Amino acid sequence: MGQVQSDENRPLPTHEELTKELANKFAEKCFTSLELYSFKDVFKSLADNQNEVRYLKQDTIAQFLGIPDILGVSPVLFQMVSYIGAFPFLQDAPAVLGLEQMVVVIAIMTSRYKQVLVKGASDRNKLLFRSLAVYDRKLSATYQEGVSSTTREADGSKADSTQPSVSGFAVDTPGDEENDDSDIEDDELVCSALDSLDYVGASQRKSVSTMHGAMIPADNFRKLVMLLLLVAPLGDQENLSSYADRVSGTELESLRERAECILAAFLDVEKSPGIKFHRFNAIVPVSMPYLFDGLGPLFEHFLFSKNLNLSQHTVEGPPVPVTSLPQPLLQDTGSIMNLNVLSQLSLFIPGSSLFRRVRLLYSGDDDGFSMGSFESKVFHWRAPTLLLVRGVRLSSETGHTGSGSESAFLSTLPPRRSPPGGTDGEQLTFGLYLSQPWKYTNRECFGGDDTTLFQLEPIHDVFMPSTLNKDYVSYLRPSSSTNHAGISFGCPPPHPTQTYRRTNTIPLGSISLVLDSSFEYGCFTHDQSSRGGAFQPSPARRFNFQDRFEVTHLEVWGCGGDEEAKIQAERWAWEAREAEARRRINLGTGDIEADRALLEMAGLIGGNRSGGSMG
């Protein structure tokens, strides 16, 4: 009994002691002995010493990781690290970044913490939001006034013109749930860490900061996104300095443009000062689930010491062969695709399927804007593909009449029921990820459950596939029995018995993209109110809109390795030989035109064969 009395009277451990205990758990279960030895050596070489306390400063971390000064992101990154260093006692942030705090930071940034904290492991995004957020009563009040103003306008009441109108998105009408930050309080990752330390009790858990009204400043997030796009392809122990050419000149401008498109998914920078948690939590898991993955390889640099030279240990055996230089991250560039666009794609498509894996199969600029060229270049690729289409939004003025081809295309669309998603003449880029090979559509569409429709500019948006409606992709060549040839995504398949108000009108899906057979025009439809489509509505834009555009560029990129490329090259070579053989055929009649007419009737050359157009 005396022992029990002694235990009860023992003082509770301090936050510092518990943080050290958590760091020891991470060190034991999340790192190898070699990694831990390297980290201690790196920390010792970098740390400053004040009053016998060794710690890392902002400039030290930025310089060690190779963060480019021109991005101006070092203070943002240091704010994140200083906050996470206080985990799980976040109310103590910012933390002095000592050895134990950096162990916690690296474990969380590299996602190794999951080996210890199984419960709440998916809550890292919540912690990252907290680490980026600030609490400014003035900014928060401005935001709330804007939300109230927008809500009143949505309800039909006249807003006070003297009050600022600020909303989460330019034409979004947020409801009352957007003012609720209660979900940020229930942080399972923090609770899991406290449980692992036997730190229980309602009074202690209430001490976790709730951060009501917290938001990420728009400029801070823009800078961070530029860094995340830059480090997206970063490999193990690859130095960020090797990407120096991506942060200068036109490459830097391109990187900034991609960041603006991503930022537009969260807010209208002209009307909102920052990103609230409800919006962050709604968009990141759907539209950019791999947004923070690049931080893992970046912070793993702390686990490799240059002073540790393993080459000094000789190993008997044959000499190790010299490895060839790695392939470039992107072998070719197109009118749409470049390395920054590829990094943007890696926010929702695993980077292992993209970097050093994509190659250009078809380009409208080089191969011609025709379905025949598209088929000859794309149909024999047996690995996933990425289709990218860029265009300019057509005029939305009532009574506007464009060219004859534009009018012909618009006549195939149902009457417009939704406004455009932006201003006339704005550049748009849409795309589709397809894991199955392309083929002709008869009665059923094709595509797997991972088929993904997306938009890259002027806003980053992802439309996930439905598991019930599988009308993902339709490919219809022009023929006498086809009223609306072309490529469509998310539209019902053709049926001979299908009836529609107008037989020549395309039956658009609720979330769909349509390209005409000449690849001149396209139409993207987002009907938020309709349900049951092949693709799910946008998590960022909860309203109806329709964008009709003139196509300027169209590309298809194959996602695969050397084996897929070899098969495709062999197929192209075979088709070239076949086309050449057809050109040289002579039936011996002496009448070349008659011979060609006979061969066309037989379907050997001409419009019925893809190789005929090469003659």
Tokens of 593: 């035109």
Domain count, the chain: 3
Tokens of 58: 């902002």
Domain-terminating residue out of 259, 277, 303: 303
**Residue 211 within any structural domain of the chain:** yes
Domain-terminating residue out of 282, 303, 324: 303
**Residue 6 within any structural domain of the chain:** no
- Residue ranges of the chain with per-residue pLDDT less than 70: 1-10, 136-186, 200-212, 309-325, 398-402, 481, 495-503, 561-615
**Residue 150 within any structural domain of the chain:** no
Cis peptide before 94 (omega within 30 of 0): yes
Predicted pLDDT of residue 405: 87
392 shares a domain with 265: no
195 shares a domain with 216: yes
**Residue 69 within any structural domain of the chain:** yes
DSSP-derived 3-state class of residue 407: helix
121 shares a domain with 22: yes
481 shares a domain with 582: no
pTM (2 decimals)? 0.83
CA nearest neighbour of 100 among 156, 24, 186, 37: 24
Predicted pLDDT of residue 306: 84
**Residue 437 within any structural domain of the chain:** yes
Q: Which residues lie across from 531 on neighbouring strands?
A: none
577 shares a domain with 495: no
CA nearest neighbour of 77 among 267, 288, 282, 294: 294
**Residue 167 within any structural domain of the chain:** no
Residue 173 to residue 188: CA distance in whole angstroms: 30
575 shares a domain with 550: no
Q: Which structural domain range is residue 298 located in?
A: 14-134+181-303
Judged on CB neighbours under 10 Å (0-12, 13-18, 19+), 522 is buried
352 shares a domain with 265: no
269 shares a domain with 389: no
**Residue 477 within any structural domain of the chain:** yes
Q: CB neighbours of 186 closer than 8 A, spacing ≥ 6?
A: none
264 shares a domain with 284: yes
Predicted pLDDT of residue 213: 78
Predicted pLDDT of residue 53: 92
453 shares a domain with 402: yes
Domain-terminating residue out of 249, 279, 303: 303
601 shares a domain with 502: no
**Residue 549 within any structural domain of the chain:** yes
Q: Are 551 and 391 in contact (CB under 8 A)?
A: yes
Predicted pLDDT of residue 136: 63
Predicted pLDDT of residue 472: 96
Over residues 304-361, the pLDDT tens digits come to: 998 876 555 444 555 545 445 578 999 889 999 999 999 999 999 999 999 999 999 9
192 shares a domain with 119: yes
Q: Are 39 and 302 in contact (CB under 8 A)?
A: yes
Predicted pLDDT of residue 195: 87
